[in-house]
Chain A
Amino acid sequence: DVKVTQSSRYLVKRTGEKVFLECVQDMDHENMFWYRQDPGLGLRLIYFSYDVKMKEKGDIPEGYSVSREKKERFSLILESASTNQTSMYLCASSLTAGTGEREQYFGPGTRLTVT
């Protein structure tokens, strides 16, 4: 089974702090994704990565950055956390396009509260 793990289930940070959210997958997937989930808005893509050191902006990248130094690890960084970044953050991974399997596999999520 594909396993996607996230470093924390719950996190409380103060406004202005630098926050790191870590995601690790164990299935050698090329693609990795970071979403935020807010009630009534579904999942919105923040950033994704299709290879080591390669990244693309999603729909809501403002206030976030990412890092992918190793294939299995994808980090989301909030350079200066703000209260409007309080949300559930979900990481996902998938094989590369063209392999036939198109679905994404999700981690358990990190509920971040910024006070």
Chain B
Amino acid sequence: AQSVTQLGSHVSVSEGALVLLRCNYSSSVPPYLFWYVQYPNQGLQLLLKYTSAATLVKGINGFEAEFKKSETSFHLTKPSAHMSDAAEYFCAVLSGGYNKLIFGAGTRLAVHP
């Protein structure tokens, strides 16, 4: 069965610092992986997705993620944090048919001046 673990429920960085949000997955088949972002009082928005085409995936707002099969990881990074990046971030893995997703518990990113 597929599962997702996000290490760190809260991450705090300074504006301009590197953002690193960790995601490890468990999957018995080649995974499809996603990162979503949720701004306060909004739904989830797709940041990027891994579908086996390339291991380094670029997304919106300067985010990228690298798929590492040996480490079963799909960590999200951004070189320089901006105040507007403050949000909750969810990692998800495709599970079974019907495009069902299994979500991690989420990581809340705070960006301080």
The A interface is mostly helix, strand or loop, or mixed, namely strand
Q: Are B98 and A42 in contact (CB under 8 A)?
A: no
Q: Find residues 69-115 in chain A having any chain B CB closer than 8 Å to their own CB.
A: 90, 92, 94-97, 102-109, 111
Residues of chain B from 28 to 68 with CB closer than 8 A to chain A in the complex: 32, 34, 36, 41-46, 49, 51
Residues on the A chain within 8 Å of B101, using CB:
43, 104
With known contacts A102-B51, A109-B43, A48–B100 Cβ distance under 8 A:
yes
A50 CB within 8 Å of chain B: yes
Contacts A31-B98, A94-B99; is A107 near B43 (CB within 8 Å)? yes
User: Chain B contacts of A97 at CB under 8 A?
Assistant: 97-99
Cα distance A97–B51 in the bound complex, in angstroms: 13
Contact with B along A31-45 (1 / 0, CB 8 A): 101000000111111
Give the interface size class of chain B: 20 to 34
Contact A108 to B98, CB < 8 A, known contacts A40-B105, A42-B105, A43-B90: no
Q: Given A40-B105, A41-B105, A42-B104, A48 and B98 touching (CB < 8 A)?
A: yes
| Inter-chain contact B103/A102, CB cutoff 8 Å | no
Tally chain A residues at the interface, Cβ within 8 Å: 29
Query: 8 Å CB contacts to A: which residues of B96-113?
Result: 97-101, 103-106
In the complex with contacts A42-B90, A107-B43, A109-B43, A102-B32 CB distance below 8 A: yes
Task: Write the chain A residue with the least CB distance to B43.
Answer: A106
Question: Assuming the A-B contacts A42-B106, A45-B100, A95-B99, are A102 and B94 also in contact, with contact meaning beta carbons closer than 8 angstroms in the complex?
Answer: yes
Choose among A43, A97, A106 the residue with the greatest number of B CB atoms under 10 Å from its CB.
Answer: A43
Can you list 11 A-B contacts (CB < 8 A)? A31-B99, A40-B106, A44-B103, A45-B100, A56-B98, A90-B43, A96-B99, A103-B34, A103-B49, A109-B41, A109-B43
